[in-house]
Structure 1
Amino acid sequence: AYAKEWPEFIVPKVLVEQAKSGKPWDIPLALREDKDEVALITIRRPKTLNALNSTVMSQLDKIFTEIKKDNKIKGAVLTGFGVKAFVAGADINELARLRTPEEGEALALRGQETLNLIENLGKPVICAMNGLAFGGGNEMAMACTARIAKKGLKVLAGQPEPKLGIIPGYGGSQRLPRIVGLSNAWPILRTGNPISSEEALKIGLIQEEVEGDVKEAGITFAKKLISGEAKVPPIKREPIEIPKSLPDVDIGHLSRKTDEIMKEAILEGAKMTLEEGLKHEAKTFGKCLRTKDMRIGMENFMKFGPKRNAEFSHA
């Protein structure tokens, strides 16, 4: 009615098509908008700070599969809705429903499939980190060709899984050491403590800190990679060197049992190719389901959120 009354009002094509279809509204959790030769993909779950669940992952699968086949699109930018978070992690409710090591391994492998699709797209994908990237969010960012972030973020990236009594399952223990070096990754993975955008730039997790609009900067960066004006070295796919000594890490109240599993994932994975290391991580993630501390960590988070430390039994 409004459009009829005001003929100069341009009705977006998506609204016209939706009205014609007569179907109920299906609001996508991952939205694709094409900007010339670059696809902009936005993850949109603002109430959960864009946390990843199975619906988001399947929608990203579909979008990136279409982009891979679309000859008009030469690259992509992946970002999150809002200003607080790119992706705050995986959906805790889905993790809390896991019961067996096999279920844990299967969930990790499913998530890894989506990230592997992004990593092996054959077209550059820039992660425009509009806010914090925790857990699965940081893992998704690391599967991209390059990462840029809003300048001056005191909290940008981290793998807080140990605080929940688990380890990363979407490739964090394998990609982070390959991107920033094992000595830099070691404390980040074992303590679960986040790093700032400044620190991320210093260790090589991100390529740029951006003053202005991070999405626009991402599109500009993607176009530079497409034209060959900019280059980013690919992730190391072969086994990586393990330094003779690694930094001492104080894990504080965290589960010593989970820490053993984490160290196994990192150190054994470093001796493998990236592909083998990812499978190893998924299996090792499954081992967390055998521990008491995963239940303790999950229940503590569900009751009290991230503010209160779990009282782990180290078993």
Structure 2
Amino acid sequence: MRQVVITEFGDPSVLELVEAPAPQPGAGEVLVTVHSAGVNPIDYKTRSGQGFVASVIGDRLPWVPGFEVAGTIEALGDGVNGWQVGDPVVGMIGFPRAGGGYADKALVRADELCRVPDGLALEEVGGVPLAALTAWQGLFTHLALQPDQKVLILGGAGGVGHFAVQFAAQHGAHVMTTGSGANEDFLHQLGADDVINYEAEDVHDVCYGLDAVLDLVGGEAGKAALSTLGDHGKLVTAPTVTADAIRKAADERGLQAAGYVVEPDTEQLEEILALLGRGDVNLHVSAAYPLADAAAAHRRQEEGHVRGKLILQP
């Protein structure tokens, strides 16, 4: 089998495509032939040594990145019930220590997987789990978003953001989001009511009294968005590197803000897959790369302004 490994923390050149023996599934595990694996900002941040995942895998290099895959089951370990060889599956896998998605075969815990609904392409749906769950949990677990509330989503055109805009719109919220002028039409098509062109406008000049802010950008943008909150509003921020600074800024102003880290959840993922299967929500794939071009995918992700998701197709 082929897999991409991080040999040391650094720039994309530390990603190396290697041959490795195909693993045998142990108790409660399955071996998945990977058709698609999502590329996410957490992958390049980990590769460069940033963030909480890097802090827990530093003594385990070389390490295979990738926390979301779709494919077919190739082999079953002992004690696995409810799955058969050949079943189409998708899941958020190996989070946060094991990883393993950047490969043509992945060893996965059976309880991390969901069945892929008919009509969804295995060659793309691997780009869904981590990104969509990050959006879902930010909106509904941490912000407890209600219909008719006003929510601002920072970075609505990205991998997590384009799911968040759709989820919030489907939920009946009034959706405001930031994006470039080039993405304005795209964001309206996703369901955004108002698009703030960050190249020409500041959010605090056009938004105020909001119930909720989902910050997918972090840093100074996250801090600036605090000024849009109403008296009882709340901001949650996904980028872990700047979460503490944003919480501190909120505390100083008597506002509510919290950081969060996505967690695997197959029940939530099944709800998301049902929306995708009905066509109520769509995955937008900006580009697909073979495993050998994982470094190119990382460079593209790090440049920013990716519309939707980048994926690997082993």
* More strand, by proportion: 2
* More helix, by proportion: 1
Please give the TM-score of this superposition, normalised by the length of structure 1. Answer: 0.27
Higher RCO (CA 8 Å, separation ≥ 6 residues): 2
Larger radius of gyration between Structure 1 and Structure 2: 1
Please give the TM-score of this superposition, normalised by the length of structure 2. Answer: 0.27
